[in-house]
Structure formats: C-alpha cells, structure tokens
Structure 1
Amino acid sequence: MSEHMQLSLALCRIGLYTCFRALCCKGPPPPRPEYDVVCIGLTGAGKTSLLSRLCSESTDGIVPTTGFSIKAVPFPNAILNVKELGGADNIKKYWSRYYQGSQGVVFVLDSASSDEDLEAARNELHSALQHPQLCTLPFLILANHQDKPAARTPNQIKKYFELEPLARGKRWILEGSTTDNMEAVKESFALACDCRLPSG
C-alpha cells in the first residue's frame, strides 16, 4: 500500500473518530443559572394562573394562594424561581418577610378591577417600589386580564399609578397580560430577564 493511501486512511480514521466523539460523547449541557424572583399582587389579580401556565401546568381548579408557593419557570438562558405570595389582607402584612434574597419583582394587578381595588393595588405597588429590599431591583408589572371588557390599558394604568415620576431611575417594565396569550407573557418575562440576567 502506498504511503499516500496509508495517509489517506489514517486521516479518514481520525475524521470518523472525531465525528463519533462529537455525536456520541458530548458532556451534559452547562447548567442554566437560577434567579430568585418574588411575585406579589392582590388576591384575584391572576398570579397563580399566569405562573401555572408558564410552567405548562393545568389551571383547572386553581384557588387563591394562601401563604406562598414557589415555581421554577424555565427559560432558554435561565431558570426563575418565582416565589408567589398570597394577596389576601391577612397575608400582605407579612410580604416583606419573604423579600430577602430576591433578585427581581413581578407585580400582577387586575386591570379590570373596581376603582377601590385598583387604588389598593396602586398603594401596594408604591410601597414595594420604595421598600429597602426591593427598590433597587427590576420590576415587571403585569396589567392582567386585558381580555376583559372593563380592562384598562397599560397606558391608563401607567398614568393612574403615576409610574413615570414614582419609578424614575428604577428598572421597570409595564406590560398587559392575559392567560389567553401566554407567548406575550413569556416575552414580558424575557424582557425583564434581559435587564437583569447576563446574556448567553
């Protein structure tokens, strides 16, 4: 066998071995970074339904959260461990106990609620934006139930909540949401992640 043919066969064997290694011997993918996020809002805002849909869980028989629950919401570049806090009056006073260690805030409000409930949501958001453990964190504010006839638009919410003067200098995003359009909700979460998580 000529030296040229021997060299060609050797190169072929090396090429096949390299392809085999690439296809069959890959190590596990690098772990996605995890971030802790707190999710707050009044009872009935739709926090549990949105988070359940984000995790591809059934929303049948959902009841308001009492205390808190944690859901791991997967995204291509990260996993968000979202701690949802119940929004009832007897639970709200304990919210701040669960803020420590948070790296972002999701505030969900019912955009079709009564004026009284909307005012209560406004007060809670103002309080959260000024809380020492949250005030430097990015906020994703979801004006939920946009599919309801009485829903106020995100622009109306922004004006009523006085977000421009109150949240000046802070990192926040206000988006409309509904469980009927989870792609938009995922995009809202992705926008919030991009302002906080490293790209990758």
Structure 2
Amino acid sequence: MSEHIQLSVALCRIGFYKCLQTLCCTAPPSPRPEYDVVCIGLSGAGKSSLLSRLCNEISNGTVPTTGFSIKAVPFENAVLNVKELGGSETIKKYWSRYYQGSQGVVFVLNSATSDEEMELSRSELHLALQHPQLCALPFLILANHQDSPAARYLPEIQKYLELQPLGQGKRWVLAGSTTNNMDAVKESFSQLISLLEEKEVQLNRI
C-alpha cells in the first residue's frame, strides 16, 4: 500500500509541476507534436534500459523501476512522453490506475525468458488489449532481448501471444528489440508514431 501512496504522491507532484510550467514558462512550444504513452511489462523485460538508451542516458547499470518514471523521448517528427510503470507484483495490480490520458501503449516482454514468465506476459498483454482505456489505442509490442541465444523468434511469439485473433481490428506493431541495435528500436517507435498520427487525423475529422 505504501508503494501505491508513493505513486499517487509522485503523480500529483508531476501534475503540479506541469501546471507551473504552463503558467510560468515563456519558452515557445515545441514545434513537434507530443503524445502521452504508457509503457508496461514485467520486471526484467528491459523497459528502463530501452528508454534510457533512447534518451541517450549513460549509465553503468539500470535500476528497475519500483514505481513509475516519465521520460520525454525525442524523435525527428514527435516527442513521446513515456510513463513507464514498474513490473513487480506489488505495482502491477495498480497499472490500470495510471492509464488515463494515454494515447498509445508500449508493451515490453522478455523474449528469452521462461515459459512461465511468457505466460504471465501474455496474460498481462491480453488484459491491456481489452482494457476499456487502452483497447482503442495503438500498441507497440517489443519482444526484447532478441540478442540472447534463448530468444524466441517473432513468428513464434506472435502465435503464442495470439495476436492475430485478439488484435483483429486493433492497431498494433510487433517488433524485436535489443539495446545492441537502437536503430531498429527507433524504427519500431517510428511505426508507433505513425499510428498515433493516423489516430489524431481520424479524431480531427470527426
């Protein structure tokens, strides 16, 4: 419970800081569109490492996220404000409380993990794909640690996750990822941005 209280207090602080920024800052707004994205996945999937590398952060070791963190990840044509939620059992049950306001979802799984962990990842992904606040949003599903000898191939992962039947009618991208090939990771995020742009165009037409 204490971890949940810490999450709530931190979220309030971030909201207060953003309000002050809006009221007090005189800097011109970013010319690039910004999208709010939630990043979820079990502990050990590699969410923090991927996001840190995308932000060009240099670290000797990435500490697993215990609550949540927010990073502004810049790309050529957009900025993604990524809210990464910790994947531990004590935090996972509160994920849905932090979905509000999300425009897209990044789900990271460890493609080289045990069958039991893969089953847990599949269950969490299915819950996210069917959640009322996420079901209409574009998903980027990253099968991380593809550089591991034990990594499963993407077609196997897609079949195991049942993405074709469950994801029918939804907008999703499944891609392999590894911190050793950040160009490929950036390309995957670019595909997500394209889906976000399509969604924005559709909303403007309504």
User: What is the TM-score with the length of structure 2 in the denominator?
Assistant: 0.81
Aligned to 2:100: 100
Q: Aligned partners of 1:60, 1:187: CA distance in 2, in Å?
A: 25
Structure 1, gaps ≥5 residues long = 1-27
Q: Could you tell me how far apart the structure 2 residues matched to 1:75 and 1:42 are?
A: 25
Following superposition, the deviation at residue 61 of structure 1 comes to: 2.1
Q: Aligned partner of 1:145: which letter?
A: H
Q: d(CA) in 2 for partners of 1:29 and 1:101?
A: 20
Size of the aligned set, in residue pairs, is 172
CA deviation after TM superposition for structure 1 residue 176, in Å: 0.3
Q: Which residue of 2 aligns with 1:109?
A: 109
Once residues 29 and 138 of structure 1 are traced to their aligned partners in structure 2, the CA distance between those partners, rounded to angstroms, is: 25
Write the deviation string for residues 99-143 of structure 1: whole angstroms up to 9, x where unpaired. 000000000000000000000000000000000000000000000
Deviation for aligned residue 1:156: 0.7
The question of whether the paired residues in 2 share the 8 Å contact of 1:138 and 1:171 is answered with yes
Runs of 4+ in 1 over 3 A off after TM superposition: none
* Whole-angstrom CA distance in 2 between matches of 1:30 and 1:82: 16
1:29/1:84 Cα in 2 relative to 1: closer, same or farther (>3 Å)? closer
Alignment of 1:1-200 (within 5 A): 31-197=31-197
Q: CA offset at residue 31 of structure 1?
A: 1.9
Give the secondary structure class of the aligned counterpart of 2:197.
coil
Secondary structure at 1:128 match in 2:
helix
Measure the CA separation in 2 of the matches of 1:113 and 1:181: 20
Secondary structure at 1:96 match in 2: helix
Q: Distance in 2 between matches of 1:110 and 1:59?
A: 21
Find the aligned partners of 2:196 and 2:114 in 1 and give their Cα distance.
33
Q: For the residues of structure 2 that align with 1:83 and 1:191, how far apart are their CA atoms?
A: 19
Offset, 1:29: 9.0
TM-score, normalising length: structure 1: 0.83
Q: How many percent identity over aligned positions?
A: 73
More helix by share: 2
Q: Distance between the aligned counterparts of 2:176 and 2:106, measured in 1?
A: 13
1:30 Cα deviation after fit: 6.0
Deviation at 1:32, TM superposition (A): 1.2
Q: How many angstroms apart in 2 are the aligned matches of 1:176 and 1:150?
A: 14
